[in-house]
């Protein structure tokens, strides 16, 4: 049996890496039951390229595409990330407060790292993430359209 010791960087750093960012009210998507979405193992057909986003950059902005896929904006001004979940969350609504857990303690949520989406009002509240892909704005619009959602309006530069 291996003894567990305290890590020198302390509990505060560990809590930061866990990064439960319950920044609610910034999400959009369908109210009520959404479409189930693709199989969690159908990763070959996902748009974009495998990627990572920093937990500290996630400000709580996300859109539920269906019961298994989210568009996450981290940071809001960068291209979004398609996050695919292992299991569906039929009741995922735009008002839900979400968080992420980085199991590698890297401070990032990445493709193929067994990270989790944290959903406080769902059992189990830790949902395994099967894929994280950075998508272009055009791919994000196509995903929104394919799931019956409207793309957010672009701010005019002036």
Q: pLDDT, tens digit, for every residue of 113-152?
A: 889 999 887 788 899 999 999 999 999 999 999 999 887 6
Pair 83, 70: CB distance under 8 Å? yes
Whether 96 is covered by a domain: the verdict is yes
The three-class DSSP label of residue 104 is coil
Sign, CA torsion 146/114/102/122: positive
Whether 113 is covered by a domain: the verdict is yes
- Assigned token pair, 102: 């980085």
Segments forming the whole domain that contains residue 74: 48-146
Nearest of 136, 130, 132 to residue 109 by alpha carbon:
132
Whether 52 is covered by a domain: the verdict is yes
How many domains, the chain? 1
Give the whole-angstrom CA distance, residue 41 versus residue 127.
Answer: 14
- Tens digits of residue pLDDT in 4-52: 343 343 333 333 333 333 333 344 444 333 455 555 556 667 999 999 9
Tell me which residue has tokens 């969350």: 89
pTM: 0.71
Whether 66 is covered by a domain: the verdict is yes
Whether 9 is covered by a domain: the verdict is no
Whether 71 is covered by a domain: the verdict is yes
């Amino acid at each position: 049996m291996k003894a567990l010791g305290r890590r020198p960087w302390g509990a505060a750093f560990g809590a930061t890496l866990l990064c439960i960012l319950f920044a609610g009210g910034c999400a959009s998507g369908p109210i009520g039951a959404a479409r189930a979405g693709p199989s969690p193992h159908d990763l070959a057909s996902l748009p974009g390229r495998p990627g990572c986003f920093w937990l500290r950059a996630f400000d709580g902005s996300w859109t539920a595409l269906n019961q298994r896929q989210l568009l996450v904006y981290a940071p809001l001004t960068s291209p979004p990330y398609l996050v695919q979940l292992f299991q569906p969350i039929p009741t995922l609504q735009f008002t839900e407060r979400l968080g992420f857990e980085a199991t590698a303690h890297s401070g990032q949520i990445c493709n193929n790292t067994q990270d989790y989406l944290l959903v406080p009002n769902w059992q189990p509240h830790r949902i395994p993430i099967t894929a994280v892909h950075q998508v272009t704005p055009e791919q994000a619009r196509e995903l929104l359209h394919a799931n019956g959602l409207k793309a957010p309006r672009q701010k005019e530069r002036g």
